[in-house]
Amino acid sequence: MLRVFAPAKINLCLHVTGQRVDGYHLLDTVVGFANVGDWLTLTRGGAGQVYLLGPEAAQLSGENIITQTLAAFDAQDVDVHLEKNLPVASGIGGGSSDAAAAYRGIITLQGRAVEAADAAKLLAIGADVPMCAGAIPAHVQGIGEAIMPLPNLAPLHAVLVNPRQHVATPQIFRALHSKQNAALPSLPEQLHEPDTLLNWLAAQRNDLQAPAIAAAPAIADVLAAITATGAGLTRMSGSGATCFGIYETAGAARAASSQLCAQHPDWWIVPCQINDAVNVAPQAMRATT
């Protein structure tokens, strides 16, 4: 029995630079991983069942991305209990991170190392799954297959906020006015310095933010509310609707979270730290009777 963490994936910036003939969009993004997320418990000797638990489990139903992962890696004898803490369809890679966590657990249970063929299987499950497999900060390009790890990316204190609105990723990409946008400029050398990283991020953008706001105007309300708490940087992650604010200290992030919770008790709000060496290694558990 293994317990595996599936951290939230945060697009600190996201530029859409083109579209392939097969419809996939080309991205240029810097991603970080937060110390909040879902938890998976994997047990051998089962029938490939996925059991849903946790505060956000009601948003899921039927076959999901974990089921696909079990099939892709010949693990139909593994049962998975998913503790769902992240909102579904919220732009922070919850499903992709769950699939990646399942993969890490599967290969551990199978007693094997990562194989070259695994990358293509993960990409076929979902474009975000390969970047979530390692769950370390990275500069990602292409449709998600070109991954350059950024292990020295400065830790950032943040608050994640979702207005409880699902946003359909395909709809947002279709609504994007321009599919040919400028790529990211060169990353600064001093990535380990928070001020340097934040100054560079502030000059970037999320090309999906405007079409997401058009589809879900509440996202604009979220961004304004976060900005009003004194965040040094406010932006939407992925295709939305989750947004984040970056703060100088963990205390400031907690204070902002408390303020936002008091003002908007119906929103999903959580303080966190991004890029802080999140431990995603599968942990052995002793079975209980």
- Whole-model pTM? 0.96
Active-site option among 98, 128, 195, 266:
128
- Nearest Cα neighbor of 94 from 242, 209, 223, 215 is 242
Residue 9 a catalytic site member: yes
- Nearest Cα neighbor of 228 from 273, 260, 194 is 260
Instruction: Give residues with Cβ within 8 angstroms of 4, minimum separation 6.
Output: 39, 40, 41, 42, 101, 102, 104, 105, 280, 282, 283
Query: Which domains does the chain show, CATH number per domain?
Result: 2-151 (3.30.230.10), 156-274 (3.30.70.890)
Instruction: Give residues with Cβ within 8 angstroms of 192, minimum separation 6.
Output: 152, 153, 154
pLDDT at 109: 97
Q: Six-digit token pair at 34?
A: 């937060």
Task: Return per-residue pLDDT of the chain as tens, 289 residues.
Answer: 999 999 999 999 999 999 999 999 999 999 999 999 999 999 999 999 999 999 999 888 656 899 999 999 999 999 999 999 999 989 999 999 999 999 999 999 999 999 999 999 999 999 999 999 999 999 999 999 999 999 999 999 999 999 999 889 999 999 999 999 999 999 999 999 999 999 999 999 999 999 999 999 999 999 999 999 999 999 999 999 999 999 999 999 999 999 999 999 999 999 999 998 788 999 998 765 4
pLDDT at 258: 98
Residue 216 gets which letter from DSSP?
A: -
